[in-house]
Structure 1
């Protein structure tokens, strides 16, 4: 079954191998990856392996999309592993409301498609833009922890958030 979510400006669709170059442009960009759980991708082989995981993830455990803007993949949004929400956009498209638009469409979809009680997120506390976005989406902080991710040689902290299933 082909799942696609279309908004006013974006198309969220399942990843495919042909997305490699566009996703490498995102995942190799130092600014885009500043608060991600890994350092920027060093080469296309690393992105190819990441993309393969996205393409082959089991549908009962994953609900993940690439974000297309005017025919170009500019990021991803979804749950690589349910119920954990993750998203990333190329810095060239930051500040235009695309992440808000993508998540506003994805969140109702995931609750309709899966029997999850809540969605969760793990955000670096220095990533104020992401914390504000998730707050706007209704996520609330559930906890914090120090030194949760070793990214390269830097230990990063976590803010944990959750969004309960609407009643």
Structure 2
């Protein structure tokens, strides 16, 4: 079966590949980009290569649906489903505030509901990550819970806000 390619007016979402590691390293090694991620910034390219290889392998096993987000041929982000219907995303800082995340995440949601037949999509967000919370809420997600000390990142514990979007509430853009 041919891996899906998802197109939007400005973006192409294609399966993540091992050769994406250098472009992803620019994001995964940036402290500001990784501020609310579930791990510390990557120290070297080898760490990112291992992370990408595991993401590619998880997708091949059917445990994830991991996509590179390209704009004008340049990798500018990553969107994924893992642990079933949990969504996650990461974008290069130079596209923040341009609607790229909303366009890419919306396209992945459509794929999740229409192709993967999810009945809902979940998210786990650091409560201090106001940009991601606002994006998800604009896309129709509703907060369903809160938990303290869910991730230890370096020496610091962070909390989680849980959100969910039922398929019946999804409005395709």
Structure-2-length-normalised TM-score: 0.92
Q: What is residue 161 of structure 2 aligned with on the other side?
A: 159
Question: What is the CA deviation profile of residues 31-77 of structure 1, one whole-angstrom value per residue up to 9, with x for unaligned ones?
Answer: 11000000000111111111011111145331120111111111101
Structure 2 residue 42 is matched with structure 1 residue 47: no
Alignment of 1:31-110 (within 5 A): 31-57=32-58, 58=60, 60-110=62-112
* Native 8 Å contact 1:29 1:90 kept in 2: no
The residue that corresponds to 1:3 in the other structure is 4
For 1:30 and 1:89, locate their aligned partners in 2 and report how far apart those are by CA, in whole Å. 13
Deviation at 1:10, TM superposition (A): 0.8
Q: C-alpha separation between the residues in 1 aligned to 2:133 and 2:81?
A: 17
Q: Secondary structure at the match of 1:18?
A: helix
Which contiguous aligned blocks of 4+ residues in structure 1 show a shift greater than 4 angstroms?
A: none
- Aligned CA RMSD, in angstroms, stands at 1.3
- Identify which range, 78-87 or 30-39, moves more after superposition: 78-87
Alpha-carbon distance in 1 for matches of 2:9, 2:117: 27
Stretch deviating more after TM superposition (59-68 or 17-26): 59-68
TM-score (norm 1): 0.95
Unaligned runs of 5+ in 2: none
Aligned residues: 167
Q: Is the 8 A contact 1:141 1:159 kept in 2?
A: yes
Larger CA deviation: 13-22 vs 50-59 = 50-59
